């Protein structure tokens, strides 16, 4: 039995504050390629705190959004109050959720969350929920492996510091481990996964890149928004955490005062066969 806690429990606000949204170009490419119109039915899986949700809602599209996490869901609901007529939200797992009145969708999209879903369910269920010729759209981002020398130095020293504190102060009996997944896919791995279902045809794959520069505190918050790092903090006393964070801030301040990170975004648009 998996007794791990929700990955984003107690860190949803940090996630909302620090995680980037999606490039406007990416959203516009989706609208252009799918020829999405305002009457189309859209389902969002794993809406999180609503970063992608509001990008579509701001443009006037109507969305049924599903989010399994209670903490993320609270942020999502509050954030989407101004879109009451356009965004409906259910806090449940995609695997257990069923649409009202056997609704069929023109577009199903999932941003930064498809890797959390049950592989035995997700593609088949999306296929059955889509209208004929409907689109399954997956997009996400990862920190690029391409880094400046300064960022490489900072990351190496930060990792050494974290490992030092884990070795000396982490108590794995203090907290239940969080569910975790890196979300990182090797080149063409997602393509092979989609095509391997024989349910969808990939019609477009587009890549994007942005750069974000984080101050020491922003960098720490970005780390805290990752379940694997949050699990480390779960097993440490607050005083120890403060000491570790001070060391990490000093490392960044000694190396220019910020961390520059390139983010690679991937967009897959697949059509129901």
SS3 labels along 194-246: HHHCCCEEEEEEEEEEEEEEECHHHHHHHHHCCHHHHHHHHCCCHHHHHHHHH
Query: Residue range 74-79: average pLDDT?
Result: 96
What does the pLDDT look like over 134-163, one tens digit per residue? 999 999 999 888 888 999 999 999 999 999
Collapsing DSSP to helix, strand or coil, 159 comes out as helix
What is the share, in percent, of the chain residues with pLDDT greater than 70?
93
Q: Average pLDDT over the chain, rounded to whole?
A: 92
Q: Are 107 and 45 in contact (CB under 8 A)?
A: no
What does the pLDDT look like over 83-132, one tens digit per residue? 989 999 999 999 999 998 888 999 999 999 998 899 999 999 999 999 99
Other Cβ atoms less than 10 A from the Cβ of 166: the count is 14
What does the pLDDT look like over 6-35, one tens digit per residue? 778 889 999 999 999 999 999 999 999 999
Collapsing DSSP to helix, strand or coil, 137 comes out as strand
Classify 12-272 by CATH class. Answer: alpha beta
Query: Residue range 197-206: average pLDDT?
Result: 97
Give me the pLDDT at residue 163, please: 97
Which distant-in-sequence residues (6+ apart) come within 8 Å of 197 by Cβ?
123, 124, 127
């Amino acid at each position: 039995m998996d007794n791990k806690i929700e990955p984003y429990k107690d860190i949803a606000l940090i996630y909302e504050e620090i995680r980037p949204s999606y490039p406007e170009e990416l959203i516009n490419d989706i609208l252009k390629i799918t020829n999405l119109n305002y009457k189309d039915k859209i389902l969002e899986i794993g809406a999180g705190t609503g970063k992608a949700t509001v990008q579509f809602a701001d443009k006037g599209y109507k969305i049924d959004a599903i989010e399994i996490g209670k903490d993320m869901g609270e942020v999502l609901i509050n954030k989407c109050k101004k879109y009451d007529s356009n965004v409906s939200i259910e806090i449940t797992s995609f695997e257990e959720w069923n649409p009202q009145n056997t609704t069929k969708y023109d577009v199903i999209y999932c941003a930064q969350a498809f890797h959390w879903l049950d592989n035995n369910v997700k593609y088949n269920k999306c296929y059955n929920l889509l209208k004929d010729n409907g689109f399954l759209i997956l997009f996400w981002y990862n920190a690029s492996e391409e880094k400046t020398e300064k960022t490489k130095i900072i990351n190496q020293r930060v990792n050494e510091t974290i490992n030092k504190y884990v070795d000396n102060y982490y108590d794995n009996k203090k907290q239940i481990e969080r569910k975790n997944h890196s979300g990182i896919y090797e080149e063409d791995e997602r393509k092979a996964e989609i095509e391997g279902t024989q349910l969808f045809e990939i019609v477009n794959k587009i890549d994007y890149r942005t750069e974000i520069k984080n101050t020491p505190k922003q960098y720490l918050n970005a780390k805290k928004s990752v379940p694997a790092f949050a699990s480390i903090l779960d097993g440490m006393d607050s005083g120890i955490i403060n000491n570790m964070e001070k060391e990490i801030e000093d490392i960044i301040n000694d190396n220019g005062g910020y961390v520059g990170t390139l983010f690679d975004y991937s967009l897959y648009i697949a059509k129901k066969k």
